[in-house]
Chain A
Amino acid sequence: MSGTVLRHIHYMPEGVVFMAKNILEMRNITKEFPGVRALDQVNFQVQEGEIHGLVGENGAGKSTLIKILGGVHSYGKYSGDIVLGEQIQKFSGISASEKQGISIIYQELALIPEMSVYENIFLGHEIERNGIVNWNETRIRAIDMLKKVKLDVHPNTKIVDLGVGKQQLIEIAKALSKEVKLLILDEPTAALNNDDSENLLQLLKELKLHGVTCILISHKLKEVISVADTVTVLRDGKTVHTMKKELSEINERDIIKHMVGREIEDVFPKRSNKNFGEVQLEVKNWTAFDKKLGRNVVQDVDFNVRSGEIVGIAGLMGAGRTEFAHSIFGNFKGYQLSGDIQIQGEKVNMKSPRNAIKNGLAYVSEDRKGNGLILETDVKQNITLANLKQISSAKIINKNEEIKVAEKFRKSLRIKTPSIEQKVKNLSGGNQQKVAIAKWLFSEPNILILDEPTRGIDVGAKQEIYTIMNNLVSQGLCVIMISSELPEVLGMSDRVYVMAEGKMIGQLPIGEATQEKIMSMATV
């Protein structure tokens, strides 16, 4: 057994000799799932006190690597060694890993929505004596933790009542309350808007000053570059490259090149001939009242989209964009509606998503796990679910046709899965998103609503999705794209609407839209 001391000496550019100790070393890690080798002899080193960016395409193995580190895939289910503080670790489970000061914030948030902030922060490691929880102490400590993450909410607030950005900070507070030494975040900013992301990154830098080492997984390369001291690139389950800030090696171009194995010239592919036709969907005076919240989530919205057009809807988190989409897509949440909705100039009354689909609408949800996909079923059944009619006669499903359809989408969207019989829950996050998009493309919509279509998706796949969008509109479809990524909105849309507090603040032709203009409209 090799328990050697691992010390590397780096010469700083200034010539200062600096002893950097590896807090973590993962050696020759291999992990196989049936049909996939998710990790193949991965070597990965993290130095004490640094922020380490871990990047790679969807399905490259990032989440798997940290799940091994976190004891989710316990000792014996992978090969290779985890060396932590000079000792080989054999984690039997999550708690064994936590005991060593490792805390992971997973891609899927793990908070209990109906519980309060303080209960959540200490969930699983309650402050107790003889099994009796000391709630006063808990509340006081929770307030401390909230201060540390600079979050100004009352500890009694329920998680459901917080936005995603704040929930993310609660996750970090939870990690901090466990005396974390190594904090790992798997795509923490995927669902956050610019301000919240900025906030979170700032927090990471501060934690670094307090000696917390941090591994950051993200598809937002700019963020990684802005905070990371070291960046490791994974590709197809192998470590392909490591870059150091102190050697000025970190830049976006190189990261992308190593991630995808080729250079990507233009993330936003250009459309050659723009050809706008008739107005396909028109909404007037549209108001949606949420009975549960007791207020209008959408108010007096006028909106339209023409065939051949990509319309972007920008705005901050909570601006009512998703609610607007829900309300026009068959009013799935049961709002009280008023106003007119017309499809191809005809007034329609879409009472259910079923009805909306019949009218040619499709909605790719922002929340693919919550209400986009059936995780327990396989890829092919998910793809065909919204249009079973197409592959069945007399209500009887033609399974062969189903396989054909699913294979077609697997190829055209390059969904990375060992087979179309794989359960969707076993796919990487980005590939799940592709399945969700495939599902709606198969319903052959006339108006496609994409809600945060590239959340958690790697650059290469992003470009593929943009290309698909371009192809669709050049066939005369309309695309409505809700997005919090301003570069994406600016890069892809023909027209931009800006929403804030449930209202359409205004619209900008793409020629006049800039980040600054949109932001100033969004923050009225």
Chain B
Amino acid sequence: MSSISNKIDKIIPKSIKENIRDYGMYIALAVIILIFNYLTQGLFLTPRVISDLFNMTGYIAVLAVGMTLIIVIRHIDLSVGFIAGFLGALAAILSSRFGLPIWLIIPIVMSAGAIIGMGNGFIVANLGVPAFVVTLAGMLVFRGALIRITKSQTIFTGNDAFNAIGNGYIPDIANIDGVHLLTIIFGIIGIVLFTYFEARNRQKQLAYSLKVSTMPLFIAKILFVSTVIMYFVWKLASFRGLSWTVLIVALVVGIYHFITKHTTLGRHIYAVGGNPEAAELSGISVKFTTHIVFASMTMLAALSGILFTARLQSASPTAGTLFELDAIAAAYVGGVSASGGVGKVTGSIIGALVMASLTKGMDLMVVGVSYQYMIKGLILVAAVVFDVRTRNMKSKRI
């Protein structure tokens, strides 16, 4: 047994092994995409499918970002599905009945979401009711509220600008041979920024004489990531370009990634998840942090609701059904730990993409819905088993 693990030690360099949990999800996503691409004879990696894949992930992806932090602080939020449905319907009404412009609807509805979330957070943190119960109750309440507000009917948004958020693409400055130029430019800006930050980070680490990867390895990494980004950007550009949905999700992920990595609030969230008592004694308000995390969750649920409504161009009385479970699954597939304090928002986005790729791929292969559910269930368990196993490996060997 030990000789096998010794061999593995030799084949896989230590740095990769230590980060297997981080890379694992990316590898899994790549493998899933390649398998489907093979099974569908190259259909999966066509511009239309890729574009659609990203767009259909949008409203779950933003939920998964919020859910990540909820699970990091050892809670759960089951109410966000119907809250997204309810607030999506509210947005549709604000648009169709009151004729409000979309740039006004977004902040109004997201604020409403944040306020609802504070309520959840208050009951959890201040009254000490388990989040599972509080948000289960919320799920029922908002399911009812959704039926009420829609009067059991579908409400059309009746506004093109609104619908564009879910279906539209960013305008172009010049279209060359069917390739969306602005999208390409965004892609290049993305790569330049990525390279810049990576290089700056490496410089700083060197200045503090920390361990860094060797120069060739570093360049290889930059090249690899750039190629992958460019590949997908190219696919998007040769369809209709970057959609508003993808842009919004990218923005949300960017902001949340920054908050969790670089701000005191982010540090507090992970501390509360890691050991609430120690956090409290360190002068961190566990209550306040819990309020913020729940408020952020429902704020994102509002955004999710808007994206979904815009995508369907209407709000229905059943919108939001099971969104919360998709988001939770995405977070777990993306490597969030159920025991708290561990998990990245970027991981959850990859988790959401993995789940969406499965749906898309199996749709393309005309796999029946019944099998789709079973397969996705198995994948979820497999992902968590992988997570637990690698975690144990880490703590035993390191």
Contacts and interface: CB of A to CB of B under 8 A. Distances in A.
B264 A371 contact: no
B204 A353 contact: no
A435 to B, nearest CB: 11
User: Which of B264, B275, B279, B281: most chain A CB closer than 10 A?
Assistant: B281
Interface stretch (B160-168, B213-221, B282-290): B282-290
B263 A386 contact: no
Nearest to A422: B398
A104 interface: no
B389 interface: no
Give the interface size bracket for B toward A: 20 to 34
A94 B136 CA distance: 40
Given A385-B267, A396-B263, A373 B275 contact: yes
B277 A371 contact: yes
B398 A34 contact: yes
B212 to A, nearest CB: 13
A354 B267 CA distance: 15
A392 interface: yes
B14 A354 contact: no
A386 B282 contact: yes
B31 to A, nearest CB: 28
Given A385-B267, A392-B264, A396-B264, 13 more contacts: A34-B398, A76-B5, A77-B2, A77-B397, A329-B281, A352-B283, A354-B284, A358-B283, A374-B271, A388-B268, A395-B265, A397-B267, A400-B208
A161 interface: no
A397 B341 contact: no
B283 A33 contact: no
Interface residues of A, number: 41
A365 interface: yes
Given A377-B274, A397-B263, A372 B341 contact: no
A357 B279 CA distance: 13
A374 B2 contact: no
Given A392-B264, A396-B262, A371 B285 contact: no
A363 B275 contact: no
A371 B342 contact: no
A376 B398 CA distance: 13
A403 B280 contact: no
Interface string B22-34: 0000000000000
Interface of A: 33-34, 73, 75-77, 329, 332, 352-354, 356-358, 363, 365, 370-377, 381, 385-386, 388-389, 392, 395-397, 399-400, 403-404, 425-426, 439, 443
B203 to A, nearest CB: 11
Interface of B: 1-2, 5, 14, 18, 204, 207-208, 210, 262-265, 267-268, 270-271, 274-275, 277-285, 341-342, 395-398
B294 to A, nearest CB: 19
A403 B206 CA distance: 12
B341 A426 contact: no
A386 B283 contact: yes
Contacts of B210: 403
Given A353-B282, A385-B282, A33 B398 contact: yes
B376 to A, nearest CB: 29
Contacts of B274: 374-377
B267 A388 contact: yes
Contacts of A385: 267, 271, 278-279, 282, 284
A395 B282 CA distance: 17
Given A388-B267, A400-B208, A371 B275 contact: yes
Contacts of A357: 283
Of all A-B residue pairs in the complex, the 8 with the closest CB atoms, nearest first, are A76-B2, A371-B277, A374-B274, A357-B283, A354-B283, A386-B282, A388-B264, A385-B282
